[in-house]
Amino acid sequence: MACHERMEDDSGKYERIVHKNGSSYHYLKISLEFEEDTSIRLNSAQFKQLIISSLKQLFGEIGAALPFDVLQFEENTLSAVLRVYNRDLVKVWSALTLLGSYQSEMCAFRVQQVSPFLLALCGNSRT
């Protein structure tokens, strides 16, 4: 739901847009890192399974049942865009943080960006 409000001023025209409950989702841009000399390859199904198993490790069956989507996955860089509901964000994010190994190889999820708007992920505001 967006609320538009026009303010007219001598100096020019302003448009104020206020988003209330702008989005019911949050989007996470993440990448999975392994040690440099690894031979591990993942496809998108395995990638999603890895996230589900990390959720299950931390939150049990309830965690494994949390709905989320992998919107985009790149096999070469192991980077992905996730979509999660707002109320699940903390759980999914902390599960990603606490994941430490895959098939007994050390790994780490790097969360690059988190935003309620998918468009925000196309640019990086931090560099």
Partner 1 sequence: MAVFVDLNIRQTSDKNLLRKTIEIAAHLGYSTIAVNYVIEFQDKKQNFIKPIPVNDLFNSLPIVQGKSKPIRVLNRLTVVVSDAVQCIELRATSPHIRLYDIVAVLPKTEKLFHTACMTLDVDIICITVTEKQPFHFRRPPVSGAIERGIFFEIIYSHATKDSTMRRYTISNSLSLMQICKGKNVVLSSGAEKPLELRGPYDIANLGLLFGLSEGDAKAAVSTNCRAVILHGETRKTAMGVVYTMKKNQTLLDKEEDEVTHPLSKRMKT
- Where along the sequence are the contacts to partner 1 (CB under 8 A)? 33-35, 57-58, 90, 93-94, 96-101, 106-108, 110-111, 114, 126-127
Q: How far is the CB of 10 from partner 1 (least distance, A)?
A: 34
Q: For residues 45 and 97, which CB has a smaller minimum distance to partner 1 in the complex?
A: 97
Determine how β-strand 68-74 pairs with β-strand 25-34: unpaired
Q: For residues 65 and 111, which CB has a smaller minimum distance to partner 1 in the complex?
A: 111
Rg (CA), the chain: 18
Q: For residues 43 and 101, which CB has a smaller minimum distance to partner 1 in the complex?
A: 101
Beta bridge partners of 5: 16
Q: Residue 15 is encoded by which pair of tokens?
A: 């448009």
Asked if residue 85 lies in contact with residue 23, where contact means CB atoms within 8 angstroms, the answer is: no
